[in-house]
Amino acid sequence: MTKASDPQPDGSTPPPSAPEGTGLGEGGGVLGRWFAPVKIPRDAIATLRALAARGSLVFVMRSPGLLGFLYLRWFLRRAGLPPLRAAQGFHGLTGWLARVRRTRRAFEDAVAAGESSLVFLGRPDAEKNPLAALVRQQRDLFQPVFLVPVLLVWSRRAQRLQGSIWDVLYGSPESPSAFANAIAFLRAFRRAVFDVGRALDLKEYLAQRAAEPDASVALRVRGALHQHLAREFRTAVGPPLKAPSRVREKVLRDRSLRAAIEAVAAGTGRPAQAVVAEAEKDLREIASNYDPVFVGVMRALLSRFFRRLYTSVEVDEEGLARLRRAAGEAPFVLCPSHKSHVDYLVLSWLLYENGMTPPHIAAGINLAFWPFGAIARRGGAFFIRRKVKGDRVYTAVLRAYVKHLLRDRFPQEFYVEGGRSRTGKLLFPKTGLVSMEVDAWLDGAADDVLFVPVAIDYERLIEASSYANELAGGEKRKESLRGLLGAARVLLRRYERLYVQFETPISLRQVAAERLGARAASLAVDEAWGGEAERRAAPGAAGAGDDAEAKRQLVQGLANRIAYGISRAVTITPVGLVAAALLSHVRRGLGSEEVARRVELLRYVAAEGGARFARDLAGAPSDPRQAGPIADAVRRLARDGLVRVEVAAGDTIYQVVDEKRPLLDYHRNAVIHRYVAPALVASAARAGGTGGSTAAEVRDRALWLSRLFKLEFMYRSGASFDEIFESNLAFLVRVRAVDCDAGRVLPGPETTALAFLADLVRAYLEAYHLAAAAALAALGSDAPRQAPLDRRALVREALERGRGEFLSGRIALRETLSKATLENAVEWLMAQRVIAEEAGKLRLASPASVAELRAIMDGIAPHLAM
């Protein structure tokens, strides 16, 4: 993880002139001034040193250029790598100015001596392929030759399908003129990126093609390297840009969209041209207007924005480098957690800063207000309506647009949670856009699609106060220009650290093969009304519904895996640990020693699960009285009025200010997924009382709780419930929270640890108990006659009922009164068919619902005993 406070929040190494993490001294000379700021991949130097120790390095660039040559020569010298001694494909005046040996003999001598050399691929020519001699030489060499593709990007000017006057002056972005390189170098050397691709082991490559002629192998090698560099270049500057009119024309020609338009016209009797006009209007509402020049200008503004707002931006360097490597192999979709409007900005900024094309971002139509909508479209945003059910034309247009982005290999970004999380907890994944990406893949838009889970975490949230108001029952404010101008006051405050973590990309092709095997190839595209999948699913059709159900399971499984990936990538922050320690307590305050024990236990649990921690937590004390990140977090919470610190009887007592508990609860929820499994088992064990329960009884209670909270938490994928239960029960035994004796589970010596872990989910238990009680009171047979309630009204009734129970002491925790949690509880009751909805109004689903609601309340009650 790297610190970016000036503002370099990237996954690259410090430049070679900076000693941190590279082992390089200060860059000197004239070139050092210009070349030192160039970003290079964090692991590039170590990788190249390891290759140089085994064989000869032959670097490969696409087009001859003096600046590229000079930088590579400078870089190798500063990195302590074998010096650059020869070059091939470097003809004309620039080659002469480079003062490098360019003969075939000099090149072969450099390779044989283990020195570095350079090959410019240039234009394809079988007779002048500079790699042909290298292939022949490798057959006679014992040591391997490593062909290392490298790309130096000075300019981020995107290629356009139609040429312009700039192409006459500067050449194309893929093959710029010397003049263009010089201008871009002088203007943007501080933002330049040097990318080192995956090396090709020529000795191993030839061993697999021993009988193939050298000339044929040389052409294959050249083609592979050229294709690799082309992909890397496209990763940096993006696909060729089309005019908006050209994009609209292409999308409206989509086969699936045309079929949908014809079906709507035939089904409604409308003229086909009128339906086409509606589709074009919808497309204008959706489509972005991506402008790389505008993005370049915004980069400088965003750098100042992040430097002003955050102490630092902490970035997962390894994950970012992994993403860059993956971007050359297949189109990717970023799937970040969604907690703040800042999420829209940070990933685009990070990718641009690290030599990658910013993504096209799926945003809610509520953000398309003037002038933000126009600005966001130029940054790559495309806008989606929140509710599209029943609008067949709009849905088909959106599917066609997503397919266009995938086919043209534009990076994409969407939030699998749908909207922003008001609670800090990951929301249950939505499948709409995931399904559209799967359909585009099935339709052949790409060979594979990589979904990249990303966790974006904040030590202090800009929207914290507005979220607390919404959770207490307040209405969400509509986004507008007035609100945007009012938000300018956030620039006057400091919001501590921001963390960005990348999980391993998830291959759609691999997930489909794992879940469906050979059957994945037979799935049909959902043609968005009237397509093949719909016909197969029609009643009476052969295999009716089988393919549709298989695809639904694939989409849901993929969405769950993405959500679980996000949860794995979440950063465990000091403020999250402190919040979890203080809030999982039903009495007034906690002494410092108990806080330290709780924080230490939380760190232990998270570490066992492979969690990612904030950088400064490594080796830091858990005691809030000792200098370190935990003490700093407590100090900030006290300064902000969330925690009161008192000293009595020689001990320091920490009390959460009651009215501010929902604000602190946000940080607890941000990390709670790491503790849900042991918390549910601890709650199930504690519910047996001092006499304990059989292991089977504890298992059944834990299983019931996991099903109760299936809309709240993401559980570990790829493992059965029994595996998860057994491992967490063993953990509780290890920390002495429980004892297992003769098949019974009893409270262990560390009863405080058992209570603490169990109370981590107490607010959710109280909220679900409250929702069931409110539904029984409002909808049951004994309820007073009143107008039928809708969902929002039932949640309001539950909040008001809960306020009374909290004030009277029957509910212990204020954060129980969370509108978001109560909405989930009502949704769960509907999913269990305890309550039903007709024409927007709620009722009990059956005569047995009263007994079922009471059974739910009775099932929760033992877990709330103190």
Instruction: Give the tens place of pLDDT for each residue, 472-482.
Output: 877 777 766 56
| Banded model confidence at residue 259, pLDDT cuts 50, 70, 90 | very high
Q: Please give the Cα distance from 783 to 309 (Å, whole number).
A: 52
- Does some domain include residue 666? no
- Does some domain include residue 858? yes
Number of Cβ within 10 Å of residue 517's Cβ equals 9
Of 187, 204, 237, the residue that ends a domain is 237
Instruction: Calculate mean pLDDT across residues 150-169.
Output: 66
pLDDT at residue 192 in the model: 82
pLDDT at residue 178 in the model: 64
Query: Looking at the structure, do residues 191 and 250 belong to the same domain, yes or no?
Result: no
Q: Please give the Cα distance from 613 to 609 (Å, whole number).
A: 12
Q: Please give the Cα distance from 239 to 235 (Å, whole number).
A: 8
Task: Using the predicted structure, report yes or no on whether residue 257 has a pLDDT greater than 90.
Answer: yes
Using CA atoms, how far residue 371 sits from 362, 374, 413, 484, 779, in Å, is 18, 6, 22, 10, 46
Quick one: tokens of 565?
């990936």
Q: How many CA atoms lie within 13 A of 641 on its CB side?
A: 3
Looking at residue 11, the DSSP 8-state letter turns out to be S
Q: Please give the Cα distance from 388 to 404 (Å, whole number).
A: 20
Task: Note the pLDDT tens digit of each residue in 68-91.
Answer: 888 999 999 999 999 999 998 887
Contacts with 789 (C-beta within 8 Å, 6 or more apart), sequence order: 778, 779, 797, 841, 842
**Could you tell me which residues are beta bridge partners of residue 442?**
none
| Banded model confidence at residue 845, pLDDT cuts 50, 70, 90 | very high
Task: Using the predicted structure, report yes or no on whether residue 22 has a pLDDT greater than 90.
Answer: no
- Does some domain include residue 589? yes
Contacts with 590 (C-beta within 8 Å, 6 or more apart), sequence order: 581, 582, 598, 653, 654, 655
| Banded model confidence at residue 1, pLDDT cuts 50, 70, 90 | low
Instruction: Calculate mean pLDDT across residues 316-322.
Output: 92
Provide the angle, in degrees to the nearest 10, between the axes of the packed helices 432-442 and 508-516: 90
Query: Looking at the structure, do residues 17 and 101 belong to the same domain, yes or no?
Result: yes
Query: Looking at the structure, do residues 24 and 163 belong to the same domain, yes or no?
Result: yes
Query: Looking at the structure, do residues 352 and 463 belong to the same domain, yes or no?
Result: yes
Give Cα 63 to chain centroid, integer Å. 35
Task: Note the pLDDT tens digit of each residue in 348-376.
Answer: 999 998 889 999 999 999 999 888 999 99
Using CA atoms, how far residue 156 sits from 232, 240, 606, in Å, is 13, 12, 41
Instruction: Calculate mean pLDDT across residues 55-80.
Output: 91
pLDDT at residue 525 in the model: 74
Instruction: Calculate mean pLDDT across residues 711-718.
Output: 86
Query: Looking at the structure, do residues 591 and 480 belong to the same domain, yes or no?
Result: no
Question: Residues for the chain: how many in total?
Answer: 866
Using CA atoms, how far residue 519 sits from 215, 449, 559, 586, in Å, is 41, 18, 20, 53
| Banded model confidence at residue 7, pLDDT cuts 50, 70, 90 | very low
Query: Looking at the structure, do residues 628 and 682 belong to the same domain, yes or no?
Result: no
Token look-up 């900005």 returns: 345
pLDDT at residue 531 in the model: 39
Q: Please give the Cα distance from 704 to 710 (Å, whole number).
A: 10
Least confident of 89-93, 179-183, 459-463: 179-183
Looking at residue 652, the DSSP 8-state letter turns out to be E
pLDDT at residue 123 in the model: 65
Task: Using the predicted structure, report yes or no on whether residue 245 has a pLDDT greater than 80.
Answer: yes
CATH number at residue 283: 3.40.1130
Task: Using the predicted structure, report yes or no on whether residue 109 has a pLDDT greater than 50.
Answer: yes
Quick one: tokens of 609?
């699960």
- Does some domain include residue 804? yes
| Banded model confidence at residue 21, pLDDT cuts 50, 70, 90 | very low
CA-based radius of gyration for the chain: 30
Query: Looking at the structure, do residues 31 and 179 belong to the same domain, yes or no?
Result: yes
Query: Looking at the structure, do residues 754 and 818 belong to the same domain, yes or no?
Result: no
Q: Please give the Cα distance from 690 to 255 (Å, whole number).
A: 67
pLDDT at residue 623 in the model: 97
Nearest to 168 by CA among 177, 159, 155: 177
The top-scoring range by mean pLDDT among 93-97, 128-132, 831-835 is: 831-835
Quick one: tokens of 387?
């509710």
Instruction: Tell me which H or E stretch contains 252.
Output: helix 244-252
**Boundaries of domain holding 251:** 245-568
| Banded model confidence at residue 177, pLDDT cuts 50, 70, 90 | low
Of 237, 267, 291, the residue that ends a domain is 237
Task: Using the predicted structure, report yes or no on whether residue 12 has a pLDDT greater than 70.
Answer: no
- Does some domain include residue 669? no
- Does some domain include residue 576? no
Query: Looking at the structure, do residues 311 and 267 belong to the same domain, yes or no?
Result: yes
Task: Note the pLDDT tens digit of each residue in 516-565.
Answer: 887 877 787 764 433 333 334 444 444 446 778 889 999 999 999 999 99
pLDDT at residue 763 in the model: 96
Q: What percent of the chain has pLDDT over 90?
A: 66
Task: Note the pLDDT tens digit of each residue in 566-613.
Answer: 999 999 999 999 999 999 988 889 999 999 999 999 999 999 999 999
Of 193, 211, 237, the residue that ends a domain is 237
CATH number at residue 694: 1.10.10
pLDDT at residue 485 in the model: 54
pTM listed for this prediction: 0.88
pLDDT at residue 13 in the model: 40
Instruction: Calculate mean pLDDT across residues 300-326.
Output: 92
Helix (H, G, I), strand (E, B) or coil at 196: strand
Query: Looking at the structure, do residues 96 and 18 belong to the same domain, yes or no?
Result: yes
Are 795 and 740 contacting, i.e. CB atoms less than 8 angstroms apart? no
- Does some domain include residue 2? no
Contacts with 259 (C-beta within 8 Å, 6 or more apart), sequence order: 527, 529, 530, 531
pLDDT at residue 532 in the model: 39
Task: Note the pLDDT tens digit of each residue in 678-711.
Answer: 999 999 999 999 999 999 999 999 999 999 999 9
Instruction: Calculate mean pLDDT across residues 441-470.
Output: 92
Q: Please give the Cα distance from 217 to 221 (Å, whole number).
A: 6
Query: Looking at the structure, do residues 680 and 696 belong to the same domain, yes or no?
Result: yes
Number of domains in the chain: 5
The chain-wide mean pLDDT, for the chain, equals: 87
- Does some domain include residue 573? no
- Between 75 and 152, the more confident residue is 75
Task: Using the predicted structure, report yes or no on whether residue 514 has a pLDDT greater than 80.
Answer: yes
Q: What percent of the chain has pLDDT over 70?
A: 87
Query: Looking at the structure, do residues 302 and 384 belong to the same domain, yes or no?
Result: yes
Q: Please give the Cα distance from 273 to 263 (Å, whole number).
A: 13
Helix (H, G, I), strand (E, B) or coil at 59: strand
The top-scoring range by mean pLDDT among 53-67, 176-190, 485-499 is: 53-67
Using CA atoms, how far residue 433 sits from 119, 359, 777, in Å, is 43, 15, 38
